[in-house]
């Protein structure tokens, strides 16, 4: 689908894409080195033949429980080209205690909020981001809830919750202090 775009990126930036694969639905993915993502994004957007002007999304996956768990975080970037009527899918893999990826909010304005979302829920830092705050959760929130090691039922209320008698689930502390 986006073979042409990935070929062209490889031709212009030979070391940027480290791996390519096709997913089950036939979508082609390119795995990009973290330090090269900004160059790749700006090439895709500004090359007149590629013209990937439409910012689609940035998502993150915590691979902690997958068979291949290293590096731990996998960010996927999707951009669209109306001229070529296709989408390009890129991946960036980062690990470590303080995962860091360069921001692309200078290339696509829409990336600003998506990067904030991934910082909020996965704790991936986007270096050079102009305003890296939490976006859906509140600033006092501790931890990053979509990480696989964040417990499903963990609660951290801003004000103490009243205990509510509930056998299985529901709001409050379920009668337990």
Partner 1 sequence: MSESELEAHFPTQNMVVNLGPSHPAMHGTVRMRIELEGETIVKADPEFGFLHRGFQKSAENGTWTQVLPYTDRLNYVSSLMNNFGYLNAVEKLIGLEIPERAKYIRVISSELHRMADHLTCVGAVGLELGGFSAFLYGIEARELIVDRVTELTGARLTTTFGRVGGLNRDLPPGWTDVVLKTLDKISSLAHEVDGLLTRNRIFVDRTKDTGVISAEDALDFGFTGPCLRACGVNYDIRKARPYWVYDRLDFDVPVGARGDNYDRYLMRMEEIKQSDRIIRQAIKQMPVGPVIIDDWRVALPPKPEVYGTIEGTMAHFKLIMEGVQVPPGEVYDSTESANGELGWWLVSDGSGRPYKCHVRAPSFALLSGVTRMIEGQLLADLIPTFDTINMIGGEVEQ
Smallest distance from partner 1 to CB 100, Å: 21
- Cα–Cα dist 51/44, whole Å: 6
CA distances, 155 to each of 85, 158, 159 (Å):
44, 10, 11
Interface residue with partner 1 among 89, 93, 125, 129 (CB under 8 A) is 89
Residues in 146-175 that interact with partner 1 by CB under 8 A: 146, 152
Residues in 42-81 that interact with partner 1 by CB under 8 A: 53-57, 59-62, 65-67, 76, 78, 80
Q: What is the DSSP letter of 162?
A: P
Tell me the HSE value of 94 on the side-chain side, using a 13 A CA sphere. 20
**Which tokens is 65 given?**
């429980």
List the one residue out of 141, 132, 150, 4 whose CA is nearest residue 64. Answer: 150
Judged by CB under 8 A, the number of residues near partner 1 is 38
Smallest distance from partner 1 to CB 37, Å: 17
Contacting residues toward partner 1, per CB under 8 A = 23-25, 27, 53-57, 59-62, 65-67, 76, 78, 80, 82, 85, 87, 89, 108-110, 112-114, 117, 121, 135-138, 145-146, 152
């Amino acid at each position: 689908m986006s073979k042409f775009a990935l070929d062209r990126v490889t031709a212009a930036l030979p070391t940027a894409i480290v791996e390519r694969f096709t997913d089950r639905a036939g979508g082609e993915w390119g795995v990009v080195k973290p330090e090269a993502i900004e160059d790749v994004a700006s090439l895709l957007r500004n090359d007149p033949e590629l013209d990937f002007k439409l910012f689609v999304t940035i998502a993150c996956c915590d691979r902690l429980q997958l068979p291949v768990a290293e590096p731990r975080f996998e960010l996927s970037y999707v951009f669209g080209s109306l001229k070529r009527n296709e989408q390009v899918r890129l991946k960036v893999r980062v690990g470590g205690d303080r995962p860091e990826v360069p921001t692309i909010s200078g290339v696509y304005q829409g990336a600003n909020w998506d990067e904030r979302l991934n910082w909020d829920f996965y704790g991936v830092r986007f270096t050079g981001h102009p305003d890296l705050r939490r976006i859906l959760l509140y600033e006092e929130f501790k931890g990053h809830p979509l990480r696989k090691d964040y417990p499903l039922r963990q609660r951290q209320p801003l004000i103490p919750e009243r205990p509510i008698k509930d056998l299985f689930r529901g709001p409050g502390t379920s009668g337990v202090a």
